[in-house]
Amino acid sequence: MSATSGVARRDEDEVCPVCKSSRYLNPNMRFLINPECYHKMCESCVDRIFSSGPSSCPVAGCRKTLRKNKFRQQTFEDIGVEREVDIRRRVMQVLNRREEEFDSKRAYDDFLEQREEIIANLVSGIDVVKTEAKLKRYATDNVQSIRTNQALEVEESQSFQARMTLEQEEARLRRQAAREEYENERREMQAGRNDFLLRLAAGSPADAAAIAREGHKVLLKKSSARRSEEDRIRQKQAALRGTDVKRTASLLNTADTAGTTDTGLVKGLRKIKAPEPEKPYDPFDGMVPEKHDYYTLQDYYPSAYLDKIRKDTRMQAGGYDLREYYSRSLMEAFAGLGVSIAEEVAQRDATSMLGRSKPASTESAAMAAVGNTVASENAT
Amino acid sequence: MAASPFASRSPSLTISSPNTLRLRASTAQNASQTSVARRPQNADQELTEQLNDEVRQKYVKDKRLGEGTYAVVYLGHLKNDPSSSVAIKKIKVNAEYKDGLAMDAIREVKYLQELSHPNIIALHDVFSSKDQNLSLVLEYLPRGDLEMLIKDVNIHYGVADVKAWMGMLARGVWFCHENFVLHRDIKPNNLLIGSDGEVKLADFGLARSFADPNYNMTHQVITRWYRPLELLYGARQYSGAVDVWSMGMVFAELLIRIPFVAGNTDLDQISKICEAFGTPTEENWPGVTQLPNYIPSDRNVPLQGREFFLRQFPIAGPVGAELLMSMCALDPRKRTTALQALRHSWWTTEPKPTKKEDLPRKAGGDKKMGDDLTRRGGELDDSTFKNAARQLDFGAK
């Protein structure tokens, strides 16, 4: 950074463009901006000009009406960036659709592109009036969904915050536990050594080797017991952490059901399916019982040949019913009448274009395999 | 028998489930591709053999689900669609049928390929392998069967669930009867459950067409506990009423979670039915004494009325008990038909049947499917229900 630019910026920063007072005279001077026009001025100017109600911007050539309550400190040094961030925040608050509301990834990407385009238009001042009108209409049309998505966002950020603090707290506890553990170990080691020295001092020189071995063993045993205890505690903590994460995750999932409708501005939103009214139960599942297209069934057909059966009480007692015979004979006699070969050929050709046709193989293979034994089957 | 091809959605029309369509569509495509490529190479093969090879090579076997005396069942998938699942039932070459195929297999192929309904197991393809074994490519039903649910004490279900299951069973049976096919082995472990919870009628090993007066039919069908009195009395001419009796027994079993009339022998079964529902006489069942194996009963129990069913099956409610009673009429002519059963007011009375996706479910269904499909028709799984009969005392009043 060169010295000149540094000086220039400081100069600009130090003198209020409205009242020309400088930091030299007023060391506590703060500069404020208004997102209407982003013209910078000092706090005292704001108080002076806007305390008695809205007034026009004092900067020459800017006729925007400003209100005092909109003035704030700027976040970014570059006023262009500040303005873009503001516009972006405002657009994002309105166009706050979420990925799960869209039919496909493609539709969501299109939406993101559209949003960027709107932001770019507003930032660079292309079609501002039209874009603003579009945005406004969208906002009024989708008040409900905008509100739900905002609530969802808040909830998400809150749960994220909660998880972060939880993790930090856990890390702190772990560190503390490790420190305590180290302390304990050191203290015990010391105590063991003291004890061991005392016993060495009290005992005879012959026992020295035995006492030394024993003391070492006791120390080892103690430390391994402690280690397994700590392992158990650690596992318990890990398990607790696992359930916590799961709980928050499930919380997020349940919140995730926002009703959506397709609007003029945003395309490709997932349609909400209205549940179909439940149909009454049909015992026949859509089929029509006793439907004969070409004949009507009578209860009696005179036939000398069948009279014998009609009189056979034994057959009747077994449940045999001649009406079934009539029905079957008629069905078989008229079955062919429903077939219109021209229609079926046309249908077959149309479907085979789509790769759909009935294989001729089922019947032929079956008959090839069983053909000569079928005849004997009727005898049973 | 033939399925009538009416254009409307009438029961006589066979309807492909979407799943079947998908399987068939993709297989057809594959078949046409391979056939073009392969035909010139083995032109000396017979056409039927070529077709058979095409079908066989469409499927890949993954793992064995179960093995029984009669068949081995594998889990498989389409070669060009690894996400599909099918059950491949390979019929064993049996010592009894040296000169041909097992009757069960023929029946199963013959009737299943004609019936296409959401409540009947779908037969996708049939092929034979090199050693002349017949393999049936069936719909894969991974959620076990009703027997598994009935027996598991950890599973609790209510009358709404029973209503949903019975509705699906009744539709399947009605569709069979509408196309003049008798199932003749309805029992809880032949009622398999699909991945969506749909109950499907499986094991057509004893099925046959009916209503032809010129053929006698065998009375040695249907697993004993679910066999109606006319079959126990040896009737050679009967109707869909035999399946309806089995349906009634399944209904009762779903309600009390134990087989309702479980005889140790055929004679025992007759006496148990007579004691439970009443003794058949010429008055309440005209012509019963003329049935070939009719045995006069020494005790005469009057026919049970509505209050008996209400007392035995309190959770069914008065309307449900009435439907059950109509399914359990001794005289097959007085018994309700599957069509009449579906028109009963029980289906529309409260509670509503449970939606099929909410029905109770249990893990381990694929193994159960393997066991169910390998059993020979009409067999009792004796080990599982061995002492069930002793726990029911029908003499107690």
Model confidence at A69: pLDDT above 50: yes
β-partners of residue B127 are B135
**Chain A: closest CA distance from residue B24 (Å):** 6
> Is residue B177's pLDDT more than 60?
yes
Which residues, numbered 262 to 291 in chain A, qualify as contacts with chain B under a Cβ-Cβ cut-off of 8 Å? 280-281, 283-291
Q: Which CATH number fits domain B146-374: 3.40.50.300, 1.10.357.10, 1.25.40.10, 1.10.510.10?
A: 1.10.510.10
- At A359, which amino acid appears? P
Q: Contact B367/B142 with Cβ under 8 angstroms?
A: no
Q: Give catalytic status of residue B185 as yes or no.
A: yes
pLDDT in tens, B68-125: 777 889 999 999 888 889 999 988 776 566 667 777 888 889 999 889 999 999 999 9
Residue range of the domain that includes A43: 8-74
Is there a domain that residue A39 lies in? yes
User: Is residue A53 within 8 angstroms of chain B, CB to CB?
Assistant: no
- Mean pLDDT computed over every residue of chain B: 81
One domain for residues A189 and A58: no
A209 with A170, same domain?
A: yes
Whose structure tokens read 């003035």? A71
Average pLDDT over residues A45-69: 87
Q: What is the mean pLDDT of chain A?
A: 78
Which tokens belong to A49?
Answer: 């000009």
Residue A22 has a pLDDT of 84
**According to the model, what pLDDT value does residue B5 have?**
36
pLDDT at B327 over 60: yes
Q: Return the structure tokens found at B317.
A: 């409610």
Indicate the pLDDT class of residue B345, thresholds 50, 70 and 90.
very high
Say if residue A45 is in the same domain as residue A84. Answer: no
Query: Which CATH number goes with the domain that contains A21?
Result: 3.30.40.10
pLDDT over 60 at B29, yes or no: no
Would you state the structure tokens that stand for residue A346, as one six-digit string?
Answer: 């046309």
Question: What does each C-alpha distance from A91 to A79, A101, A142 come to in angstroms?
Answer: 18, 18, 14
- Kindly state whether residues A101 and A221 are assigned to the same domain: yes
| Distance of alpha carbon A327 from alpha carbon B86, whole angstroms | 36
- Per residue in A291-341, pLDDT (tens digit) is 777 888 888 888 888 888 888 888 888 888 888 899 999 888 888 787 778
Q: Are B87 and A354 in contact (CB under 8 A)?
A: no
Asked whether the predicted pLDDT for residue A197 surpasses 60, the reply is: yes
| pLDDT tens-place string over residues B266-312 | 999 999 999 899 999 888 899 888 888 898 887 888 888 888 999 98
CB–CB contact A361 B125 (8 Å): yes
Q: Give residue B175's pLDDT.
A: 94
- For the residues B132-137, what does the mean pLDDT come to? 86
- Chain A, 303 to 362: residues with Cβ < 8 Å from chain B are 306, 309, 313-322, 324-325, 327-328, 331-332, 334-336, 338-339, 355-362
Q: Is the pLDDT of residue B18 over 80?
A: no
Q: How near does any CA of chain A get to the CA of B193, in Å?
A: 17
Give the SS3 label for residue B63.
strand
- Cα–Cα distances (Å) from B264 to A225, B12, B187, B270, B296, in that order, read 67, 39, 17, 10, 19
User: What are residue B85's phi and psi, to 5 degrees?
Assistant: -130, 135
Share of chain A above pLDDT 70, in %: 81
Provide CATH 3.30.200.20 ranges for chain B: 19-46+53-139
Q: How close is the nearest chain B Cα to the Cα of A107, in Å?
A: 29
Residue A118 and residue A250 in one domain: yes
pLDDT of amino acid B390: 38
Do residue A61 and residue A82 come from a single domain?
Answer: no
> Considering only CA atoms, which of A162, A87, A154 is closest in space to residue A120?
A87
Choice among B104, B125, B145, B185 that is catalytic: B185
Whole-number pLDDT of residue A297: 85
Task: Select from A239, A258, A273 the last residue of a domain.
Answer: A273
A368 located within any domain: no
- A95 and A189 belong to one structural domain: yes
**CB contacts, 8 Å: B90 with chain A:** none
Domain end: A245, A273, A301, which one?
A273
* Cα separation, A285 vs A132, whole angstroms: 55
pTM above 0.90, yes or no: no
Scanning every residue of chain B, which has its alpha carbon at the shortest distance from the alpha carbon of A291? B10
User: Both A179 and A63 in a single domain?
Assistant: no
Query: Within this chain, do residues A57 and A113 fall inside the same structural domain, yes or no?
Result: no
Instruction: Please write down the long-range contacts of A231-234, taking CB distance under 8 Å and 24 or more positions apart.
Output: A233/A177
In tens, the pLDDT along A345-374 reads 888 777 665 543 344 344 443 343 333 333
Identify whether the C-beta of residue B193 lies closer than 8 Å to the C-beta of residue B146: yes
Q: Judge: A358–B24 Cβ closer than 8 Å, yes or no.
A: yes
Backbone angles phi, psi at A149, to 5 degrees: -65, -35
Q: What CA–CA distance (Å, rounded) separates B342 from B168?
A: 10
Distance of alpha carbon A290 from alpha carbon A253, whole angstroms: 52
Q: Which of A180-189, A224-233, A235-244, B2-11 has the highest mean pLDDT?
A: A180-189
A307 inside domain = no
What's the average model confidence in pLDDT over A133-151? 89
B364 vs B219, residue with greater confidence: B219
Question: Mean pLDDT across the stretch A94-123?
Answer: 90
Q: Give the sign of the dihedral formed by CA A198, CA A204, CA A206, CA A210.
A: negative
Which residues, 6 or more positions from A241, have their beta carbon under 8 angstroms from its beta carbon? Answer: A170
In a domain, A35, yes or no: yes
Is A68 in the same domain as A84? no
**Assigned token pair, A88:** 């972006």
Lowest mean pLDDT among B119-123, B330-334, B374-378: B374-378
pLDDT greater than 90 at residue A15 = no
Q: What is the mean pLDDT of residues A106-127?
A: 91
Complex confidence, ipTM: 0.78
- pLDDT of amino acid A115: 92
The band of B240, judged by pLDDT with boundaries at 50, 70 and 90, is: very high
Interface test with B, best of A306, A307, A362 (most B CBs within 10 A): A362
For residue B334, the chain A residues in CB contact (below 8 A) are none
- A74, A96, A123 — which closes off a domain? A74
Which regions of chain B carry the CATH code 1.10.510.10? 146-374
Q: Is the pLDDT of residue A278 over 80?
A: no
Q: What is the CATH number of domain B19-46+53-139?
A: 3.30.200.20
Q: Are B126 and A365 inside 8 Å of each other by CB?
A: yes
How many domains does one find in chain A? Answer: 2
Three-state DSSP at B90 gives strand
Higher pLDDT: A356 or B231? It is B231
